[in-house]
Amino acid sequence: MNINEFNDIFQNCELIDEKIVIKSDLAKTIEFIKDNYGFNLLKEIVAVDNKEHGIELIYRLYSTENEESVLVSFVVNDFAESVSKIFESAVADEKEIYDLFGVKFVGNDELKRLYLPESWEGHPLRKDYVQNDERLRWND
């Protein structure tokens, strides 16, 4: 990909460590990549908790035509834009990330817990998670 192509759409593009860094909206970027480069399949969304540097979301997009994939990463802070309108398969991934990391995806209408019980307190894969639920004392 050429950085100049991105410069036309987004402002303030930089090339840092062979990565194109854009200051832009999450959903807008994903939609741009999907429409212009033929990445028509969202394979997965990965979340990484980097403590004070926020939570990193990594999207793996795949092109069935060219058989190649691209990784797009964003740093968010508890709130993120949902891509469920662009890729419907993102609904389940976003639910899972909300369940375990507590990232609230704005625009995902079905956002609720996927694996843990509805009444669970906290988001267990966050680095600052401490389990001190009084209701689970019997399990100690």
Partner 1 sequence: MNVIVTSVDYILNWSRANSLWPLTFATSCCGIEMMHTVASNNDIARFGSEVFRGSPRQADLLICAGTITHKMAPALLKLYEQMAEPKYVIAMGACTCGGGMFNETSYSVVNGIDKIIPVDIYLPLCPPKPEALLDAIRKLQKEIKKESILKRKEFVEKHTPKLKEYCGILVENDFTVTKIGVE
Residues that bind partner 1 (CB under 8 A): 115-120, 124, 129, 131, 135-140
Minimal CA–CA distance to 72: which of 118, 125, 34? Answer: 34
- Residue type at 7? N
Nearer to partner 1, 83 or 97 (CB): 97
- Least distance in Å: CB of 76 to partner 1? 23
CB of 48 to partner 1, least distance (A): 19
> Residues with Cβ < 8 Å from 19, sequence gap 6 or more?
none
Q: Looking at this protein, which amino acid is placed at residue 87?
A: F
CB-based contacts of 71-75 (< 8 A; 24+ apart in sequence): 72/29, 72/30, 72/33, 74/26, 74/29, 75/50
Identify the residue whose tokens are 């694996």: 115
Instruction: Select 51 or 135, whichever has its Cβ closest to partner 1.
Output: 135
Min dist CB 123 to partner 1, Å, is: 10
- Taking the least distance from each CB to partner 1, the nearer of 15 and 116 is 116
